[in-house]
Structure 1
C-alpha cells in the first residue's frame, strides 16, 4: 500500500513538472508573469506544509483538519491562479488535463491518509504531537527529494524567468 501511495505521489509530482513545461511553452514570464508564478509558489507552500505535517506529526484529528484546510486553500489558490492566467496566456487542452490531475491529487491523498490512519488511531485526539518514533531519513528523502527536483526547481526557475521578464532582461 505504501509503495502504491508513493507511486501516486510521484505521478502527481510529474504532473506538476508537466504543468511547468506547459507554462514555459506558453511564455508565462512575458504573459501572466510574476503574479501567476507567485501563485504557484503559494500552492507549493500549502502542499509542502501538508507533506511536512505528515512526515513530522502523529496522524489524528488535528492533522486531518490541518490537511483538509491546506487542501481547500490549495484549491482556492488554484482557482485564483487559473483566473489570473485566463486571458493573459493560452491554456491549452493538455494543460487543462494536467490541472485536473493537480487539482484532484491533494483531495485523493487526503482521503487516503484518513483511510489509512483511521483504524490505527484508536483515539486520534486533537493534540499535535511529534511522531514517536520519528520517520527515518530515507522516508523524508523519498518524500522531499522528488518534490524538490520535480516541482521546487521548476517553480524557482519559472520565478527567475518571470522576474527577468519584468526587468526586461532576456529570459
Structure 2
C-alpha cells in the first residue's frame, strides 16, 4: 500500500467516523442542557449550518477528483466553519452550560476538519502547488471519480453512519427547538 493510499484509509476509516462520533457526543450534550429552553432554535440551526459546512466538502472529496476548485471550496468552507463555530460558542456560553464533555467534542469538531484538509493537501500535493501558483487551467470544474474511495460500498455505508449519528439527531434537535419556541410564543 502506498503512503497516499494509507492516508486515504486514515481519512475514510479514522477521521471521518471520528467527526461523526464527536458530533453525536455534542448533540448529547445539547440535549442534556435542554438547548430548546436555553439558547434555542437559533443555536440549533447554527449547528446544522456547521454540519453542512464540513459535510459538503467531505462529499465533494468522496465523489469528485480533488482539483483546484474542490480545494478552494474546502478551504472556504473550513474558514467559514471556524468563524461560525467561534460565533456559536460566543452565543451559547452566556445562555446555557457548556460541559467539559461538550468542550472536548468541540475540540474534535474543530480540529478534525483541519486535519482532514491537511491530509487532503498532502495527498494532492501537485494540486496544492497548482493552487498556490495560480495554475488553475482545466481545474475549475467538478470531475467525478472513476473509482470511489473505499470501494462502491463505502459512500452508502458512511452516509448511513452519518445519518444515524448526525443528520437525524440534529434534525430532531431543530424540531425540538422549533416546537419549544412555538409553545413559548403561544403561551406568551
TM-score for both structures, normalised by structure 1: 0.89
Deviation at 1:120, TM superposition (A): 8.2
- Tell me which moved more, 130-139 or 35-44: 130-139
Q: Distance in 2 between matches of 1:69 and 1:137?
A: 29
Once the two structures are superposed, residues 50-99 of structure 1 have per-residue CA deviations (whole angstroms, 9 ceiling, x without a partner) of 12211232112221111011011111111111111111100112211111
When the two chains are superposed, the root-mean-square deviation of aligned CA atoms in Å is: 2.1
Provide the rounded CA distance (Å) in 1 between the counterparts of 2:74 and 2:161. 20
SS class of match (2:14): helix
Alignment partner, residue 81 of structure 1: 88
Structure (1 or 2) with the larger CA radius of gyration = 2
For residues 76-115 of structure 1, the aligned pairs below 5 Å read 76-115=83-122
Return 5+ residue gaps in structure 1 as ranges. none
> For 1:88-129, what per-residue CA distance to the aligned partner results, in whole angstroms no more than 9, with x for missing partners?
100112211111111111111000111112258997843223
8 Å CA contact retained: 1:58, 1:128:
no
The whole-number CA distance in structure 1 between the counterparts of 2:94 and 2:144 is: 46
Matched, 1:39 2:46: yes
Q: Counterpart in 2 of 1:153?
A: 168
With over 3 angstroms needed to count, the CA separation of the structure-2 counterparts of 1:76 and 1:55, relative to structure 1, is same
Take 2:142 and 2:52, find their aligned partners in 1: how far apart are those partners?
A: 21
Task: Give the TM-score of the pair, scaled to structure 2.
Answer: 0.82
Worse-superposed segment, 16-25 or 145-154:
145-154
SS in 2 for 1:87: coil
Alignment: residue pair count: 169
How many Å separate the matches in 2 of 1:78 and 1:134?
Answer: 34
